[in-house]
Structure 1
Amino acid sequence: MESLAYLARQPILDRDGKIFAYELLFRDSPTSDTAIIASDVLATAQVLENVLNNIGIQRLIGNNKAFVNCSRNMLLDNLFGLLNPKCFVLEVLEDVDVDEAVVKAIQRYKALGFEIALDDFIFNEDFIQRFKPLFPYVSYVKMDVVDNSLEDMTKAAGFFKVLDIKLLAEKVEDEATFKRCQDAGYDYFQGFFFAKPELVTGRKIDATSAAILQLILLLRSRPSLEDLCDNLNKNQDIATNLLRFVNSNTDTKHSKIETVKDAIVWVGMRNIQEWLMLMLYARPELGMTPQASPLFQNASHRAKFLETLAREMDPENDDFCAKAFMVGLLSRMDALVRAPLETILPDAPTDDEMQEALLNRTGRLGQLLQLADAVELDDSQAIQSIVTELSISAIQLKYSITESYSWAEN
């Protein structure tokens, strides 16, 4: 069976819910729980080679940091010596035996300017004693909310604060857990809790957002300039904002742009779509710019991931690809609007096929959405099952993930 190797990332957020970093994960052979690659050194080497040579660190993580896993062998082999210490945080795995050689390696990396993290820390006497020699050099300790009780999570916060070590809560998958860890004093949070806020029943999508979604769907179907102009002119608020946007660019000298058609020509259709997506996510209640919002990044990634896969599956079907993009984008609208999808979709540009995908994860679009869920949650068995059913190759999966991450980040 073909090996499905790919690079995944999981967001790490600060206390304000803004993106602070990503953990980079290399995955090989989702058919089993253990990787078939020869060694952990090779696994991390493949992550770094992928990031540095194939994708580019800036395209993958933007201006954020990247956490990468480090085993004992990696630390002693000086695998990270050529990396930029401003970009990478070295994450020491929980099964590392801390002896004099490991301490010296950590000291060397710290002297180079790297930050050090301890992964999957269990707050008990055994872990404390084992990793105590590294505490003077550690910047972050990652605590798994599943493997540690709330009482231990709270005790750990007090213990490590005294040592001036930041606490990071892992596997934070809902808003309630985020709030509990936040109250306990944690500094950073890893997981997709931002996509699962508390919802308000009865709240609906506003008219402007519905119009923006309709325009984005139109753009993904490759419309003519005339069609796009006609649709924008039907939404005067959006058209006015577009003209205001193009005339506010002080870096470019041009006469005042008076018409929507001239604005589209000047900006370009791709940039129009990106501007519309920023408008969609530019909500005061988020308390941040769309680019800093993990919800915006995640929704953008999902949209591009589904569209790229759809294009790989059915290259000539523009309608299917446009629907796939919109399904990915809409799959996070409940978190944006803080209302159930059932009350949002009637006012959104969706047909029966798209609604079935979003509500029930059925049909081809629903399967693509299931695959996006599985990649985010690092569910190897689900990934293998879905790609097999959809006849998606390892190369297509890897390409689609890489394209979506870099597209969303940029």
Structure 2
Amino acid sequence: MSNSEFFIGRQPIMNRESKLYGYELLFRGGFDPNEAVFDSGQEATAAVIHNSMMGLGLESIVGQHQAFINFPESFFLSTETPCFSPDNIVVEVLEDVPPTEDVIEGIKVLKGQGYIIALDDFVFKKRLVPLIQLADIIKFDVQYVKPENIPALFTKVKQITNVKIIAERVETKEMFEVCKQAGADYFQGYFFAKPEVISGKQLNVGRHNLILLLEKISDDNLHIDQLIEIVERDVGLTHKLMKMAEQYRSLSMPEFSSLRDVMMLFGLKRVQSWATLVSMSILDDIVPEVFNLARTRAVFMRSLAQHEGHGAVDSYYLAGLFSMLDVILQQEMEDALKQLPINEEIKFGICKGENSYGQLLAIAKQFESASDHGINTDHVKLYMKALSEVNEVRF
């Protein structure tokens, strides 16, 4: 299969006026909104980030609202820079994460980088005071708490720090009113909405390329050009990196025209984190010939652009690589490209074929149709060279 279906659950979090504040994003392996079977919290978190940010795109799922994502202990012990932006992300510390010195230090680093910290399913214990002092938000599961005990519970933590409180599992109007009167700032539960499951299609990644990438990111002498060389071979890896970059790109930044643009924005440390996350959330895939055809177009169009004296030749590679997204994702091309933060000229060339990107793409397609009408001999040499290069490095 050239692409696979993914699922992600989301449940709204409302403010005191019953208006949307954010969504908790949940691991789901299918359409059942209440079923989540996974081997480890680390893998579940990786899947949620992968599916939300590199699948549909975070904005499509939460808009401009906050995205609450559960993180296990290992995340707070990692020295890697997170590959996702702190914008719109709330880092939920799972209830079984112990308040060790290393965990506390990891949370301090994240707060320094701008991440909002929430404590999930919180139960008050004296040893958790260091976590309370660092938290921006605390989530209380109120389902099994007696209504008369809730005000004292909320007051107790607010005496320690000026923290926001989310009342979780609010199932009835009566419980909503009790929690609201007790000082809760936000609310989550069946009274507002049950979790819903969103699904989509995502591009698979060639296992060989992923292994090469993981080998490179462990190299202390790694150079960004080495990463570009590996990522650009694979439509799936390139697409996922572009989708992740969408979350980082501010409105004042120009749209990307090449992988180098994205890599320079991310920096090596975030790219290393991104590659690790992708490896945790992707299964082995069989990649069909359509991926090799897209890569051949990319190599050929870059060579042809250089031959004809066009500038920014890497942008032609990107155009070729994404020129078959409609086939791979089984979408209209405009929809497939819509949420990618790439140059509008590239998108226009792929969709309309009326600028230099479209013209060079048309030449590539001429070879694919086995038409020899008016084919330039120099173009033949370049295309045969592109075929040879792609066949040397199979997915």
TM-score by length of structure 2 reads 0.45
Q: Which has the larger radius of gyration?
A: 2
TM-score (norm 1): 0.44
More helix by share: 1
